[in-house]
Structure 1
Amino acid sequence: MADQLTLVEVSAFSGLTGALLTQALTGLFGYLGDKRKSNLELKSALRNKQIDIAESFYFVTGEKMAIVKKNIGYWQNWNHSRSEASLEFLNKEMVKLNIYLEKLDLENWKCNLVSLYFDVSLTDDLLIASNDRSKALYLKVLDVTDALKHALPDSKSDLYALYDKAISDMCGHYENVYAQMTSDMQIVKASLLSRLQGK
């Protein structure tokens, strides 16, 4: 009878241990499954966000690159066109480009987040410095242009040389910005493709 009681106790204990072990393993597997699912959802959300930011960045940067090239073309043409009518036309075209550029920035704010997800060279600090340099170069051109308008005919040749240099400096700066934008587009593209391919 004692052996039967021991057998019942061992059997009951084994059943309880088995039930506890089953529950513990079920809980562990559930936890690991939930954690894995959560990690997959997080990675998917990150990938989707990166794609969204990259698409916005690509669109805006491509448009800005076109504007930079047009600005360079206008300034180089402006440098060779000195009639009031042609200068006025070019000025109106540049105003249109600048309005479009402002609209791009307002409607496509996501591209400003690109440095959070990708290692681009034009960080916020560099963009601010580049914009400051653009403004300074543009103001130099305006100052020389104003001096040309008010100069006596015999002193204009020196001012034309200064004007040519101011235009050249500004276009050179825009070319450097264009090159950096091209590089950043390649960085974003390569990084995004690498992440999508799981490398």
Structure 2
Amino acid sequence: MVIIAAFAGLAGALLTQLLTGLFGYLGDRRKAKTERQLLFRNKQIEVAEQFYFMTGETMTVLRKSVEHWKNKNKQRSQASISFFNREIKKLDTYLEKLRTEHWKHNLVGLYFDVKLSHDRLIAANNRSHALYLTLLDTAEQIQQTGNEDLLKKYHTSLFDLCSQYDTIYQLLEEDLQRVKTALTTSFR
């Protein structure tokens, strides 16, 4: 009887140790998972804040660029055209400075499903640059030759450039909404 009681006590102690270890392991695993989820959410929030700020600033620059190009279509004095050009250069310099300081907005594709992916953004920028160069080349040809027939090409290029900027603006707006929706969903 003493032997059976001793084995029962030993079995009880082993069973207690086994269950304590199992519950400790499961608790630690759950705690680690919660910490990883919290770390991921904090990174998401950090990237989303940077994305919101940079996208808002980019959208402002795009709006001002479209206004600038649409105003070039009107008869303006050289002083007002120079003013517009200086303003656009200031905005471009400001945006470039922000991009170097706030680089985390580029990570938005890692944490959120956005339409304007890195590859698509590069393609949109390349198209914008090509349209911009076409517009500048046409404007210079008009100044050098005085050929009025090139005005139609100039206005078409201007319209294409503004349409391209509007398309990028709409994509950025959609991406802002996607990031906002994803963040609010994660807080529920």
Q: Under TM normalisation by the shorter chain, which class is it?
A: over 0.9
Q: Structure 1 stretch 143-152 or stretch 61-70: which is displaced more?
A: 143-152
1:119 corresponds to which letter in structure 2?
D
**Cα shift at 1:79:** 1.6
| Structure 1 position 162 matched with structure 2 position 156 | no
Q: 1:17 — aligned with what?
A: 11
Give the Cα–Cα distance (whole angstroms) in 2 for the partners of residues 178 and 161 of structure 1.
Answer: 26
Among 56, 65, 74, the residue aligned to 2:68: 74
Mapping of residues 21-100 of structure 1, within 5 Å = 21-100=15-94
Q: 2:117 — aligned with what?
A: 123
2:86 corresponds to which letter in structure 1?
K
1:141 corresponds to which letter in structure 2?
L
Please state whether the residue corresponding to 2:149 is helix, strand or coil.
Answer: helix
Give the Cα–Cα distance (whole angstroms) in 2 for the partners of residues 98 and 193 of structure 1.
Answer: 32
Please state whether the residue corresponding to 1:80 is helix, strand or coil.
Answer: coil
What TM-score, normalized to structure 1?
Answer: 0.91
Give the Cα–Cα distance (whole angstroms) in 1 for the partners of residues 10 and 100 of structure 2.
Answer: 65
Q: 1:4 — aligned with what?
A: none
User: RMSD over aligned Cα, in angstroms?
Assistant: 1.0
**Cα shift at 1:105:** 1.0
CA contact (8 A) 1:81 1:87 kept: no
Give the Cα–Cα distance (whole angstroms) in 1 for the partners of residues 93 and 125 of structure 2.
Answer: 16
Give the Cα–Cα distance (whole angstroms) in 1 for the partners of residues 145 and 71 of structure 2.
Answer: 22
CA contact (8 A) 1:144 1:163 kept: yes
Give the Cα–Cα distance (whole angstroms) in 1 for the partners of residues 138 and 76 of structure 2.
Answer: 13
**Cα shift at 1:82:** 4.3
Give the Cα–Cα distance (whole angstroms) in 2 for the partners of residues 26 and 81 of structure 1.
Answer: 83
Consecutive unaligned residues of structure 1, counting only runs of 5 or more, are 1-6
**Cα shift at 1:84:** 2.5
Q: Structure 1 stretch 83-92 or stretch 58-67: which is displaced more?
A: 83-92
| Percent sequence identity over aligned pairs | 49
Among 178, 183, 187, the residue aligned to 1:187: 178
CA contact (8 A) 1:57 1:111 kept: yes
Deviations 1:41-73 (A, max 9, x none): 111111111111111101110110011000000
Give the Cα–Cα distance (whole angstroms) in 1 for the partners of residues 109 and 74 of structure 2.
Answer: 39
2:80 corresponds to which letter in structure 1?
S
Dislocated runs of 4+, deviation >4 Å: none
Consecutive unaligned residues of structure 2, counting only runs of 5 or more, are none
Deviations 1:107-141 (A, max 9, x none): 11111000111110000110000000010001011
| Structure 1 position 145 matched with structure 2 position 136 | no
Q: 2:127 — aligned with what?
A: 133
1:177 corresponds to which letter in structure 2?
I
CA contact (8 A) 1:67 1:97 kept: yes
